[in-house]
């Protein structure tokens, strides 16, 4: 028998090999990772609520999921917006374009009517060096206040928020617990 007559050894993996199962699993995991990467890059944002400014609605270190593609926001919606130093902040829209907002010793007045909601913690006060009221909002402008009104981390300090600063509408929060 000569070398020419010998059969060549097939080095391909057999179709029923466990390696094909592993390769298939890795490909499926890759597609799942790619899907979630696309969803979280383009559609859903994630941030962590820092501080107690949105108590009782959101607590410190709650994980917040927000919808990035929202572009028309209504009063009483909770949103994530970009503060002056670039940090992401959670807040509640109190007034939007076309509304006139005023903060008096009696509370928040929107278009001549006082707004008292169950989710508000504390009294709404003005801060020295902050925004002056009353104010009428133009197109694409929003007045955002925290639910914990004693905290100075909202429009009373930052001023009017533009639609470009709003990153999305809050969809879900996961409460962080200390164990």
Interval 97-120: pLDDT, tens: 999 999 888 889 999 998 888 888
| Mean pLDDT value across residues 85-107 | 91
Q: What DSSP string runs through 63-128?
A: EEEEETT-----TT-EEEEE-TTS-EEEEEEEEETT-EEEEETTEEEETTEEE--TT-BS-----T
- Residue ranges and CATH numbers for the domains of the chain are 43-174 (2.10.109.10)
* Residues above pLDDT 90, as percent of the chain: 53
pLDDT at 1 over 80: no
Q: What is the pTM of this model?
A: 0.79
- Say what the pLDDT of residue 12 is: 66
């Amino acid at each position: 028998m000569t070398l020419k007559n010998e059969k060549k050894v097939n080095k391909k993996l057999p179709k029923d090999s466990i390696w094909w199962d592993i390769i298939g699993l890795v490909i499926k995991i890759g597609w799942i990772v790619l899907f979630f990467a696309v969803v979280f890059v383009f559609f859903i944002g994630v941030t962590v609520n820092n501080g107690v400014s949105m108590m009782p609605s959101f607590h410190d270190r709650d994980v917040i999921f927000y919808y990035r593609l929202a572009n028309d926001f209504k009063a009483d919606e909770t949103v994530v917006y970009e503060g002056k130093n670039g940090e992401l902040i959670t807040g509640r829209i109190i007034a939007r374009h076309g509304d006139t907002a005023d903060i008096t010793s009696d509370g928040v007045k929107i278009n001549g009517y006082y707004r008292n909601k169950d989710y508000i913690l504390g009294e709404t006060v003005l801060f020295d060096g902050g925004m002056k009221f009353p104010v009428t909002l133009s197109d694409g402008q929003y007045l955002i206040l925290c639910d914990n009104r004693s905290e100075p981390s909202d429009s009373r300090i930052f001023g009017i928020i533009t639609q470009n600063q709003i990153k999305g509408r809050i969809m879900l929060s996961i409460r962080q617990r200390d164990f």
